[in-house]
């Protein structure tokens, strides 16, 4: 029997979340976290983790003109490109 990972089961850390959101800077990431734009993490020990599905949902609901949605240098972040094929 093969286990299928869904976005609800995949946990990602700060680095991956920042990469998924077009490599936003650390200060921008923590400001958005404080302001409630980025959902609060779960913790494994002292390590903050987010469900990939939450980050997909966050990205999808952002307006097109959002700074997070604007793609730097005209291409997707490398992490989001890897995840897009596995998101559904």
pLDDT at residue 85, rounded to an integer: 59
Domain boundary assignment for the chain = 11-84
pLDDT at residue 8, rounded to an integer: 82
Q: What Cα–Cα distance (Å) separates residue 28 from each residue in 1, 23, 86, 88?
A: 42, 10, 27, 28
Instruction: Region of 15 please: left (phi>0), alpha (psi -120 to 50) or beta.
Output: alpha
Q: What is the pLDDT along the chain (88 residues), one digit of tens a residue?
A: 666 677 788 999 999 999 999 899 999 999 999 999 999 999 999 999 999 999 999 988 887 767 677 654 444 555 556 666 554 4
pTM of the model: 0.72
Instruction: Tokens 């302001």: give the residue.
Output: 35
Token representation of residue 37? 């734009």
Token representation of residue 18? 């920042």
Q: What Cα–Cα distance (Å) separates residue 16 from each residue in 19, 55, 65, 78?
A: 5, 10, 22, 10
């Amino acid at each position: 029997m093969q286990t299928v990972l869904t976005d609800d089961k995949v946990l990602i850390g700060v680095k991956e979340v920042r990469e998924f959101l077009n490599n936003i800077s650390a200060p921008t990431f923590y400001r958005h976290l404080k302001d409630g734009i980025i959902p609060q993490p779960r913790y494994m020990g002292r390590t903050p983790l987010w469900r990939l599905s939450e980050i997909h949902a966050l990205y999808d609901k952002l307006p097109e003109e959002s700074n997070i949605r604007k793609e730097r240098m005209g291409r997707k972040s490398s992490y989001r490109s890897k995840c897009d094929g596995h998101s559904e």
